[in-house]
Amino acid sequence: MFATSRLIILVALGAIAFLLAVWQPRLMIVGAAYNTALAIAIATDCLLLRRRPHRIVSVERSAPDPLSLGAVNNVAIRVRNCISRTLRLTVKDQPPPELEHGAAEFSLVLLPGEEGLAQYHITPRAKGDYRFGDIGLRIWSPLGLLITQSLVAAGADTRVYPDIKAVNRYELLARRGRLLELGIRAARYRGRGTEFESLRAYVPDDDPRHINWKATARHRHVITSQFQSERSQNLLLVLDAGRMMAGRVGEMTKLDHAINAVLMSAYVGTAMGDRVGLLAFAQDIRAYLPPRRGRSQVFRILESLYRLEPELVEPDYDDAFQYLALRQRRRSLVVIFTDLVDRDSSESLLRQIGSLHPHHLVLCVTVADADLLAMAHVLPDDADEVYKKAVSFQILSDREGALTYLRQRGIHLLDVPADRLTTDTINRYLEMKSRSLI
C-alpha cells in the first residue's frame, strides 16, 4: 500500500500550514485541525482498502490456446467489481515477452457489480512453447489517497501453432459459399472433373459430350451430366526444412510460411475427400505421416509441424525422395515446398525428382521474396541503392534461371510471394484435380 499523488499534495499543504504558523501563530490551530482531519481520512481509506484484492475484484484472462502463428490473436481480461462501491483500478497483464503484442495495461472504473473487459493483441512470429505471467492489479482507495498493489495468480503455459485460425475461417466461409473472400476459386472447378455428381437441364455452353441420353429420353428434354473432381486421391505434402527455408520474409521464416500453407492444404485436401500425407526433411527425415482421410489427419500433421524448425544444412533430396518412393506406390500429387537460389541447386532437385516423376505428379512450390523484387525495381537515389539494386537483380536472375531450368524439364512450378502462398497452392491443387492430372 502506498500514497497517491493526491495524498502527497495534501500532506504538503498541512506542512505549509505549520511553517506559516511561525509568523502567524493562529495558523497553528488551523494546521492541527487540518492534519487531524487528514489523518482520519487516511485511516478511513486504509481500513476500506484492507480487504484482500481477490475479495474486491475477480480477474480472468481469456486467450486462444494454442495461439496461431503469424495471425492476430485476441487476449481478453475480464474484471468484475465484487464490492458495493465504485472502484478505480489499473490492470496490467504479462504476456510472453518473446511475442509481439499490443499495450497490456488498462485503467478501469467499475460500478458496484459491474464487469469490465480489457483486450489486446498478440501476433506470434515463431512457433514454440511460451508462458503468460501473473496479472498485476492496482486499486485506488475510495478517497483516492492510497493505492494497494498485488499480483493475481494467472500464470499459464501456451503454445504457438501454425495458423489454425485460417483453417477455422476457411470452414466458416466454405459453409457460406464465400471462399472467394480468401482468394480460393473453388466454384469454377465444378463440372470439369471425371466423377459423376448430378444431372441438370442442358444449357448452350455445356459440352455436348456430357449429354445424358437416357435421362433426356426419360424427361423429354435435354439433360446433361455434371461431374466433380475425383475423391480418394493421394495428396503428399513434402516440406524442405533446410537452410534455404531459414531465410525470413517479413517477420517469419520461409519455413513458417510454408507450414501455414501445408496445414491449410491438408485441411482442404481432406475436405475434398482425398488422403493427405506429410514428409518433412532436412539432412534426414524429420517427420512422416502416410496418407489418410479425415480431420484427425489434419491434427496429426499439426502436431508433427508444431516443433519443426529450419536447419542450417543442405537438404538431402535424394534420401527424402527415395524414402517417399519406397513407401508410396500409389500415384499421388506430391507438393514440394522448397526454395532455390541458382541452377546448381535446381539441378540437384531435378536429379532427385526422377525417383518420383513420372509415376507421381510433382508440383514444386517456392517462396518469392517480395522485398527483394521491390528492391530490384526501385529507382536508386545514391550509390548505396545502386549497389543494392544490382545485387538483388543478380540474385533474382540466378533464381529465375533455376526455375526456368525446372520448367523446361516438365516440372510443375508455383513461385509466389509469402502472402499468396496458401491461396495459390490451394488453387493449383484444385485446378490439377479438376483437370484429372492426378
pLDDT higher than threshold 90 for residue 279: yes
| CATH superfamily of the 53-161 domain | Immunoglobulins (2.60.40.10)
Rounded distance between C-alpha atoms, residue 122 and residue 426, angstroms: 27
**Residue 389 cell numbers, joined:** 539494386
For 292-303, the pLDDT digits (tens) are 998 899 999 999
Q: Are 412 and 404 contacting, i.e. CB atoms less than 8 angstroms apart?
A: no
The residue type found at 42 is I
Q: Which one is predicted more confidently, 241 or 26?
A: 241
**Residue 207 cell numbers, joined:** 459440352
Q: Which one is predicted more confidently, 14 or 93?
A: 93
**Where does the pLDDT of residue 285 fall: very low under 50, low under 70, confident under 90, or very high at 90 and above?**
very high
368-396: burial string, b at 16+ Cβ within 10 Å, e else: bbeebeebbeeeeeeeeeeeebeebeebb
The residue type found at 80 is R
For residue 132, what pLDDT is reported?
A: 95
**Where does the pLDDT of residue 207 fall: very low under 50, low under 70, confident under 90, or very high at 90 and above?**
low
pLDDT higher than threshold 70 for residue 181: no
Rounded distance between C-alpha atoms, residue 106 and residue 90, angstroms: 6
Q: Which one is predicted more confidently, 158 or 54?
A: 158
Mean local confidence (pLDDT), 46-60: 73
Mean local confidence (pLDDT), 223-248: 81
Residue ranges of domains in the chain: 2-48, 53-161, 200-228, 234-434
Calculate the CA 418 to chain-centre distance: 13
Rounded distance between C-alpha atoms, residue 21 and residue 381, angstroms: 73
pLDDT higher than threshold 80 for residue 229: no
For residue 237, what pLDDT is reported?
A: 96
Architecture of domain 234-434: 3-Layer(aba) Sandwich (3.40)
For residue 438, what pLDDT is reported?
A: 67
Mean local confidence (pLDDT), 235-248: 92
Q: Which one is predicted more confidently, 46 or 137?
A: 137
Please state, for a pLDDT cut of 90, what percent of the chain lies above it. 27
For residue 188, what pLDDT is reported?
A: 43
For residue 371, what pLDDT is reported?
A: 72
For 252-273, the pLDDT digits (tens) are 899 999 999 999 999 999 988 8
Mean local confidence (pLDDT), 17-38: 76
For residue 276, what pLDDT is reported?
A: 95
Q: Which one is predicted more confidently, 40 or 111?
A: 111
What average pLDDT does the structure give for the chain? 82
pLDDT higher than threshold 90 for residue 26: no
For 305-330, the pLDDT digits (tens) are 988 999 999 889 889 998 998 888 88
**Where does the pLDDT of residue 115 fall: very low under 50, low under 70, confident under 90, or very high at 90 and above?**
very high
**Residue 213 cell numbers, joined:** 441420353
pLDDT higher than threshold 80 for residue 82: yes
Q: What are phi and psi of 152, to 5 degrees?
A: -95, 125
Rounded distance between C-alpha atoms, residue 431 and residue 186, angstroms: 9
For residue 189, what pLDDT is reported?
A: 43
For 165-180, the pLDDT digits (tens) are 777 776 666 665 566 6
For residue 191, what pLDDT is reported?
A: 43
